[in-house]
Every structure is written in structure tokens, then in C-alpha cells.
Structure 1
């Protein structure tokens, strides 16, 4: 929401900046043994190093990426999370995620190390089949999310499933 005292010129400039920058930006922080954020997969369009501990990676619209977040304090792990999202087009609906601007179409999100580890194993299995997880069908990541939420084992992402996704994408308007 724009502050009521913001001038119209300022509002026009910020909306123009958003329109001219179609990328989705993810800020990553790395504080050894305190907060560790990293991208598990995704095709970055740009990377900007802010300082020794922070950087911003950017993804083009339509690309899929996985953001892993982990944090701890003196007593142990306080956050384990993985989110798989699709970078959105300008003016497309999106959900918000911490450190993701403006947001993404969330395909999967899980909390807790056992579930995060299970998602990482699923990503490894997709890679083991010779496929880039960023190219996998978005519906597959939604499937993995739903199966894990129900306490069930996700189905394997097969080459046949990937081929069907590519064919659907080639004939879709």
C-alpha cells in the first residue's frame, strides 16, 4: 500500500520501475551457522553481490527456482524451509515469500528439516533422470507439495511425464 503522503510523481516512478524490471529478485543471506539461504536450482538472469554476506539473484518471468532457508540460534535450528516458485510476469497474480520481490507463484513450500530433506531427495531424483528440475512440470512440484502435506510418498517424475508436459506446453496458446 502506498503511503497517503506519497506524491503522485513518486508513485508513478515506483510503478514505472516495477514495469521496466520484469525480473523476480531473491535476496540471499549467508551467516555461517546462523542463517543460510541458497538457491537449489533455477536459471539466474542476473546476480548482484551486496556485501560479503548478502547477494541478490534474479530470475526471468516463467522460470522455476527453489529457495532453501535455514536458520539457527544458540540452542539449535529454528527454521528449515524450502519453497519452489515460478517467477511471474508483470501484473500477474503472485504470493509473497520472505526475501522474494515481488513474489512468485508458489508451487511447493514445506517447513521442518525432515520434509525439506525429502524435497531435496526428490529434486536429486529428477536430476538423476537427466532432467533439470527447473524444466520439470510446475504441476509436478504442486503434486509433491500435496503428497507431502498428506503424509504420502510423491510419485516419480518420469521421462514420459516430462514429455507430456513439453507437448502440452507446445500446443498451449
Structure 2
């Protein structure tokens, strides 16, 4: 991913968060923060999808994106050395509200509900293809049913094909969510 793509994925910076000295307000304390570092070709972390509520720029290479409780996002981490890729992982997670249980993820504070976690570049590529397939239907990936991301994670981990996400499946998810509210 190019630096321009990294900056575009983060969205425009908030005026109050233009530098590392900006302090979080009490209202921001409920946000889930994801720290991202970008060192081209060596250590790349980025948000593949998700609605960023706030962000801070810590340095030229490091930013922190924050998500509201319930927001679904995807966080990709990739590291290489002189011999090639040494680590790659993608986590599709939901931000949690204060007091809710959560799982810890590296660089995610305090943590999140993990919907899918996939390790290894070939499997990460399949997960990225699954995200692209959802977006190809005209549905924002962060609006897709959390159960779909659990299904995708389980099937990729098992080396099996996953069901595609369709408009009908999305409509059923929206109706289920409305009934449960």
C-alpha cells in the first residue's frame, strides 16, 4: 500500500488532533484506538475498512485512529525484512463500549471484539478478497453482518471456501438487527 493510500484510508485529520500534544476529551475515552505505523516496505499497518471517529498524528510514520463503540473495522499488519514477508495478519473487529468484555489485539487499545483474525499472507489475501467482494455488491464492508466476518474467518482458517455476501443476506441482517433493538 502506498503512503497516499494509507493517508486516504485514515480520512481527513481532525483540527483538534493535528499534533501529538492534542489531549483526548472525556468523551473520547469511550473510543477504541488503533495505532498504525507506516515504514514503506518494512512495517506497514493500516485500516482496510471502518468509520474512523477521530484520529491523531503522532509522528510522520505513526497515527492513531479511534472508533466508536460497535463500529466494525479491519486492521492489517505486515512486516518484512531483507528476505521477504515475516509477518502478516488481518483482524476484523468491533469496537467495544466501556465495561463490555473484549479481547486484546496488538496496537488496539483497550481491545475489541474479534470477529475474525487471519494470519499468513496467502490467507490475508483471501480475507482482502472477501472484503472486496462485499464492497463489489455496493455494501460498505463495515456495515456487513458481523456473523459474515466470523464465517469468513472460520472458513479461511480451515482452508475452505466461504459463502458470498449478497444483498439478500444484508437485508436479512438489517431486519434481524431492527428486531433485536
Same topology, TM > 0.5: yes
Within 2, Cα distance between the matches of 1:23 and 1:170? 24
Counterpart in 2 of 1:11? none
Query: Where do 1:106-121 residues align within 5 Å?
Result: 106-121=114-129
Bigger drift between 142-151 and 43-52 goes to 142-151
Pairwise CA distance, 1:20:
6.4
What runs of 5+ residues in structure 1 fail to find an aligned partner?
1-16
Counterpart in 1 of 2:56? 48
Residue among 104, 109, 113 paired with 2:112: 104
Pairwise CA distance, 1:61:
0.2
RMSD over aligned CA atoms reads 1.4
Q: Would you say the 8 A contact 1:19–1:90 is kept in 2? A: no
Query: TM-score, structure 2 length as denominator?
Result: 0.84
Residue among 142, 165, 171 paired with 2:173: 165
**Are 1:135 and 2:151 counterparts?**
no
Pairwise CA distance, 1:151:
1.2
Within 2, Cα distance between the matches of 1:31 and 1:20? 28
SS in 1 for 2:132: helix
Counterpart in 1 of 2:34? 26
What runs of 5+ residues in structure 2 fail to find an aligned partner?
1-24
Pairwise CA distance, 1:150:
1.6
Query: TM-score, structure 1 length as denominator?
Result: 0.88
CA separation of 1:20 and 1:60: change in aligned 2, threshold 3 A: closer
Runs of 4+ with >2 A deviation: 17-20
Number of aligned residue pairs: give it. 157
